[in-house]
Amino acid sequence: MDKLQNKWFKESCEMWPGATFTFEVKEVLQSGKSQYQNIDVFDTTSLGRVLVLDDIIQCTQKDEFSYQEMISFLPLCCHKNPEKVLIVGGGDGGVAREVAKHPKVKEIVQVEIDEKVIEVSKKYLQFMAVGFDSEKLELHVGDGFEFMKNHSQEFDVIITDSSDPIGPAVNLFLENYFSLMKSALKPNGIVCSQAGTIWNDLDLVTSTLGYCRNQFPAAAYAYTTVPAYPSGPIGFVIGSLDKNIKFDQPTLVFSREDEKAMNLKYYNSDIHKAAFVLPTFVKYRLA
């Protein structure tokens, strides 16, 4: 495989030139092109299995729980009654796995554009693809952008688990995507989108939060730590139709028993609050 040098994979992306992450590969489990992108799965010496799309790390077995739990439970626990949830993207199944755990969630609809990602995840990334087994889930293969045009006032929460804004996900970072999500939400609905890192993509964070603010009466940025993503922390833009929402006050506070029952390894009710507290250089840039 020509993208490996002495069994080391080096991530490379025009969004963060000049500094990057590398890992040692034990075995190439999957390498090939779908209709939309290159899909690689590696077994590695230190990160477990790793999913790479178009040469960018999407998730590693070691740390994916941080991302999946936080992108799911932050919006779910901001909402008073998140009964019906839409997931856009998330083809590895990790977000579905987390959303299905929330006690108030009754129905999950997921729209992933790339069937091959689902197939590969079911074969090699079962620890995430287990999410597809939930009885709450209805899975569609298609364009989330198009899907939403035909669904009005239907969802309590919309989670967009996309890759970065190059390639198939570019439309999911634009203002009309936030506008579409708004019309697909029920009253007091909430959206949460992957939105880049404060260290490498502060321009992207600022623009994405700006689009969300233009469409939603309340919006905020929160973050978590995911070592395999460039720079470490990765963040989410969250918008709500409830203008009085307090994002940093979870509506449902979990006990230690709740955390155990849901196998939550990263998210807890205190880290929910802390996730919205920003370093000074970010706070005033986003203000």
Q: What are the angstrom distances between the C-alpha of 42 and each of 29, 50, 119, 164?
A: 5, 5, 15, 20
Specify the residue, 174 or 262, whose C-beta has the smaller distance to its own copies.
262
**d(Cα 196, Cα 210) in Å, to the nearest integer?**
14
Burial of 188 (0-12, 13-18, 19+ CB in 10 A): middle
CB of 217 to its own copies, least distance (A): 23
Stretch that binds its own copies, among 59-67, 77-85, 151-159, 238-246 (CB under 8 A): 59-67
Helix (H, G, I), strand (E, B) or coil at 87: strand
Q: Which one-letter DSSP state was computed for residue 118? A: H
List 165, 230, 239, 250, residue binding its own copies (CB under 8 A) = 230
280 belongs to the binding site for its own copies (CB under 8 A)? yes
The residue among 1, 101, 73 whose CA lies nearest residue 222 is 73
Q: How far is the CB of 82 from its own copies (least distance, A)?
A: 20
Rounded distance between C-alpha atoms, residue 162 and residue 169, angstroms: 6
**Identity of residue 132:** F
Contacts of residue 229, Cβ cutoff 8 Å, sequence gap at least 6: 57, 67, 197
Residue 284 CB coordination number (10 Å): 9
Among 24, 115, 143, 154, binds its own copies (CB under 8 A): 24
Choose which of 29, 143, 199, 210 interacts with its own copies (CB under 8 A).
199
Binding of residue 142 to its own copies (CB under 8 A): no
Place of tokens 């990334």: 125
Crossing angle, helix 202-215 and helix 175-184, to 10 degrees? Answer: 40
List the one residue from 231, 241, 242, 246 that touches its own copies (CB under 8 A). 231
Stretch that binds its own copies, among 111-119, 163-171, 178-186, 268-276 (CB under 8 A): 268-276
Site string (147-186) toward its own copies, x via CB under 8 A = ----------------------------------------
Count residues near its own copies (CB under 8 A).
45
Q: Does 21 bind its own copies (CB under 8 A)?
A: yes
203 near its own copies, rule: CB under 8 A: no
Q: Is 216 exposed, middle or buried (0-12, 13-18, 19+ CB in 10 A)?
A: buried
The single residue among 2, 14, 19, 244 that binds its own copies, judged by CB under 8 A, is 19
Contacts with its own copies by CB under 8 A lie at 10, 16-24, 44-47, 62-63, 66, 198-200, 225-233, 259, 264-268, 270-271, 273-274, 277-281, 283
